Amino acid sequence: MRLLITRHGQTDWNVQGKAQGRTDTNLNETGIHQAKMLAEKLMDYKIDVIISSPLKRARKTAEIIANGRAIPVFCDEDIIERSFGKYEGQQLKHDDFDAIKRSGEIGVETDDEFLVRIKRFLKGIKKQYQDKTVLIVTHKGTALGMCCYIEELPICKENTGKYKIDNCSILEYEI
């Protein structure tokens, strides 16, 4: 299976450096433009299915990419962004996230809980779409987790920091 992973287009919270997590923010004008540019770039790709996080910023990105093409778009809760509980909406640096995930705070998703979702999702689509090209429209944290899982690396800042996942960038894998 050919797996294409993209991060949703830009939101105002991305610009402000705020942790979005499960907070359901919208794309801003730049994010809509980024999604349209990505859609143009992906016109040369044969994509069989698009699977999106159900959050608005990812869904809208997926809809823009699929617009005018006969590609089904499905939402899957397993690729929603990680929950950061009370830390959502706060300005955080990349280094803050490891401490937050280990904090034990109610509402913060642990690495173990997160990996259960990622494994379940990737195993399911690999079985269902084994000879297809699948585009995943998700979030930075989820994309980083997928990359680490596919490459059999622990999820930690040393590993996640090596991936460049800008808004509407593409990572490609054969799995």
Residues annotated as catalytic (active site), given as ranges? 8, 81
Q: Which of 91, 73, 149 is nearest to 118 (CA)?
A: 149
Q: Where are the alpha helices (DSSP H) in 55-110?
A: 56-66, 96-101
Beta strands 2-7; 133-138: pairing state: parallel
User: Cα(59)–Cα(138) distance, rounded to whole angstroms?
Assistant: 9
User: Cα(118)–Cα(128) distance, rounded to whole angstroms?
Assistant: 15
